[in-house]
Structure 1
């Protein structure tokens, strides 16, 4: 049977191809060739190219968050401040995973199919990523707070990409955290 490694190779091939050629030129055959896989492997894991794109988006999202975890011994505010530092650090890496997420979002402005898919994925994106699961479990934040946090993170990441001064970004994040903390409870 197929291994999970095969699925990851297909997803990584998708990321590589998107970074090289954009979303529009992505095909199942190109992904299979890049991953050195087969159509059988592809269809074992993905029903179609849209399903592959969704899985690639979720992989990219969670891969970006993978290195960060909340610490139960720290206060909620300390954890959120550390997360802001993490966002700044990861945005400076200019990772393909960040690019995939923003390409997908920007594609929603141009293509109703992407917009519809993104809307269908919204709940899963916001409520089921690794960071959200930790926030719900450790700090008992509610769903409304997670949606607000998601909106803030997206905007903050854009500013992290555009702004070079990390001290200014940290100051902005701390101001944001103070507002978020007052709305947590």
Structure 2
């Protein structure tokens, strides 16, 4: 079986969630949308929760895929560029952000989602491509990654509250100035 099949199942899941919401998602609907088979589904995923977990991690990584750090620029400028990137992604109303927020909200409602979310903590915060770059290029520590994750989630909520990019950029700068100062990078 190819990784393309797995990607197809994950993309079908994203599409179905965006079309019908999380509660109406079933294995049969995913298989049909992906034009796949139950055998293929169970080759990659043990159940619908496993699929949702993989879909969340895919959405997280995919939401970050177009951002890259410029090692030739100072840390502060890279942080500002990342804020602009987050604003851009929120104005484009990316399905990836929707999937992530749906998962987070589902974690408040359903204990099994909460446990899975907690089990993914390291993958979410430390092992995504942006975090790896931060660690490698700027040698930030793991505690810093957890702190910036909290800032990003709050900022993304504000991206839903404001349409003005200048206001959002001002908020981002206010949030990240202490981070930049504390990191001394």
| TM-score normalised by the chain length of structure 2 | 0.97
CA deviation digits over 1:61-115, x for unaligned, max 9? 0111000000110111110100000000110001111100000001111111111
State the partner residue of 2:171.
172
Measure, in 2, the Cα distance between the counterparts of 1:27 and 1:11: 13
In 2, Cα distance between equivalents of 1:116 and 1:78: 36
**Unaligned segments of structure 2, at least 5 residues:** none
2:18 counterpart of 1:19: yes
Q: Residue 24 of structure 2 aligns to a residue in which SS?
A: coil
Matches within 5 A, 1:47-86: 47-86=46-85
CA distance in 2, matches of 1:107, 1:183: 33
**2:120 counterpart SS class:** helix
* Structure 1: distance between partners of 2:101 and 2:168: 20
User: How big is each residue's C-alpha offset from its partner over 1:143-185, in whole Å with a ceiling of 9 and x where there is no partner?
Assistant: 0000000000000001011101110111111122211112224
Question: Aligned with 1:69: secondary structure?
Answer: coil
Match of 1:160 in 2: 159
Write the distance in 1 (CA, Å) between the matches of 2:52 and 2:183: 33
CA distance in 2, matches of 1:24, 1:165: 33
Ranges of 4+ aligned residues in structure 1 off by more than 2 Å: none
Report the equivalent of 2:39. 40
Aligned residue for 1:3?
Answer: 2
Task: Quote the RMSD (CA, aligned, Å).
Answer: 0.9
* Contact preservation (8 Å) 1:13, 1:35: yes
**What TM-score do you get using the length of structure 1 for normalisation?**
0.97
Unaligned runs of 5+ in 1: none
